[in-house]
Structure 1
Amino acid sequence: MPSLEMSGNADLASSVLSPVTLFLHADMVGRLVMILLLCASIGSWALIFGQFFRSSAANRASRNFEKAYSKAESMGELERFYDRYFGSNDPSARIFLAGMQTAKSAGKVIDHEGERDRLSLSLEDAVAAAVEDMSSPLSSLATIGSVSPFVGLFGTVWGIMHSFSQIAAGGNTAMAIVGPGIAEALFSTALGLFAAIPASIAYNRMSHTIGRFESRLTRFSDRIYITLSRAMDARH
């Protein structure tokens, strides 16, 4: 009999502490906090997986483009390369296209130094645009990682206040009465951490990956600058 009673109490405790039960027993404010944190967690994971596939595709496309670019030796080959990749959205291709457009528009201008400055600025702008486009999810992840713990803390404080108000109204301090309310409050903290921890880790990792990607694009833009500046000098 004691073992059956203990088993029944354990089953009751597990059912009371289940996430669904904690959500259903919470008040409207507590439910709203839980829903917001759950949506933040789902959104952060969607951003993480989306950025992973996007970053992998961008790196793969850039590697392929740079390999093809290394085979172009003359300005005529670069012209054909330009026509082939015109309108491409690959990061390295966009940098090359920006540089080629500047070089093609230079014409027969005698101001070599001014041409080089315009070429350098166009390449820098193309690199910055590619990095900015790749970094777009980071602000959302940073917001989720920094705000979610405080939203969870708010839910915890609200849940504890709600439990204390029930104690004051009923005058019963038994754990069976106040336990579910405390569990609901702590569940909000757990949801906040569940949303914030992956977002913060992903933000740091993505920042490092994007920094390496920017360095790679910068090195490639330097190669383009050297090639096109020599071609423009040879044209005069």
Structure 2
Amino acid sequence: MDQAVNAANLGAAAGDLSMWALFMHASVVVKLVMIGLVTCSVIVWAIIFDKFTTVRRVNRQANDFEERFWAGGSLDDLYESDGAKPVHPMAAVFGAAMGEWRRSSRITGIDLVHGGVQDRVNRAMAITITREMDRLNRWIIFLATIGPVAPFIGLFGTVWGIMHAFGSIAAMHNTNLSVVAPGISEALFATAIGLVTAIPAVIAYNVISNSMSVFEDRLDAFGTEFAAILSRQSEERGA
């Protein structure tokens, strides 16, 4: 009975090889594979758009902050305006270091270069950088997962579809190309969707991961420079 139905579907699809017809005449399992892959593709593109927008935003915010930081103004004023309630990663690193330095100096009454205060400042910045990068890298693992997996999911749909297509062809006792082509096309359509889903995910993962690594290096460099500034100011204070 199922083979007869599939055979009828093949016959109906013989003259229509549009994407919608290929989907509609596919078996239930292949349809589920296609729907799953299309859903993953939508999520992939949403993540790509979000991450590229985020990378541009945090770099622009970091540029603006560094301009104010290197303008030579008061660090205390900059802390009150940006560091106390940071809204971007570089301000968060600055706020963590500045807050720890101020608390340590106030509580211990010692300068930055003694009593392990500099170590606490460095740890505060390192923890903040890790936390901010974890937040920025959220959902990137989805791209890393979908990239290599999606083609195999599509291939599974293709194998399943070909099995049913050959079963239907056998039921029709006809190997004419016009009969064979629709069923094979429906099956291969799943692999095509898998590749369309995987390729952007792999490319985007590599590009975004590289951008995130560059930004993390930028935060590390800023933290190192800021720690040196705090150390120099403390030495001048103690002189």
Q: Which TM-score band applies after superposition, normalised by the shorter structure?
A: 0.7 to 0.9
How big is the shift at 1:113? 4.8
CA RMSD for the aligned pairs? 1.9
Instruction: Give the gaps of 5 or more residues in structure 2.
Output: 1-11
> Would the alpha carbon gap of residues 14 and 66 (structure 1) be closer, same or farther in structure 2, given more than 3 Å must change?
farther
Q: TM-score, normalised by structure 1?
A: 0.88
Larger mean Cα displacement after TM superposition, 164-173 or 23-32? 164-173
Cα shift readout 1:198-231 (whole Å, capped 9, x = no counterpart): 1100111111111111111111111111112233
Larger mean Cα displacement after TM superposition, 193-202 or 172-181? 172-181
Secondary structure in 2 matching 1:193: helix
Which letter does structure 2 place at the counterpart of 1:207? S
Larger mean Cα displacement after TM superposition, 132-141 or 54-63? 132-141
> Would the alpha carbon gap of residues 118 and 14 (structure 1) be closer, same or farther in structure 2, given more than 3 Å must change?
farther
> Would the alpha carbon gap of residues 213 and 80 (structure 1) be closer, same or farther in structure 2, given more than 3 Å must change?
same
1:148 equivalent to 2:145? Answer no
Maintained 8 Å contact 1:112/1:233: no
Maintained 8 Å contact 1:103/1:232: no
Residue of structure 2 aligned with 1:176, choices 175, 178, 188: 178
How big is the shift at 1:234? 4.3
Secondary structure in 1 matching 2:85: coil
> Would the alpha carbon gap of residues 48 and 165 (structure 1) be closer, same or farther in structure 2, given more than 3 Å must change?
same
Cα shift readout 1:170-202 (whole Å, capped 9, x = no counterpart): 332222222211001110010000000011001
| Distance across 2 between alignment mates of 1:14 and 1:179 | 7
1:135 equivalent to 2:133? Answer no
Which letter does structure 2 place at the counterpart of 1:30? V
Runs of 4+ in structure 1 deviating by more than 6 angstroms, as ranges, are: none
Cα shift readout 1:112-131 (whole Å, capped 9, x = no counterpart): 15111111111111122222
| Distance across 2 between alignment mates of 1:201 and 1:89 | 29
Find the counterpart in structure 2 of residue 93 from structure 1. 91
| Distance across 1 between alignment mates of 2:231 and 2:127 | 17
Secondary structure in 1 matching 2:175: coil
Q: Identity across aligned pairs (percent)?
A: 40
Cα shift readout 1:61-88 (whole Å, capped 9, x = no counterpart): 0110011011235xxx111111111212
- Where do residues 115-130 of structure 1 align in structure 2 (5 Å cutoff)? 115-130=117-132
- Where do residues 36-51 of structure 1 align in structure 2 (5 Å cutoff)? 36-51=36-51
Find the counterpart in structure 1 of residue 9 from structure 2. none
Which letter does structure 2 place at the counterpart of 1:115? V
Which letter does structure 1 place at the counterpart of 2:103? S
How big is the shift at 1:232? 3.5
Find the counterpart in structure 1 of residue 77 from structure 2. 80
Maintained 8 Å contact 2:13/2:21: no
Residue of structure 1 aligned with 2:160, choices 141, 158, 161: 158
| Distance across 2 between alignment mates of 1:81 and 1:25 | 64
| Distance across 1 between alignment mates of 2:185 and 2:97 | 60
Find the counterpart in structure 2 of residue 67 from structure 1. 67
1:226 equivalent to 2:228? Answer yes
Q: TM-score, normalised by structure 2?
A: 0.87
Cα shift readout 1:122-175 (whole Å, capped 9, x = no counterpart): 111112222222211310111111111011000110011111211233332222
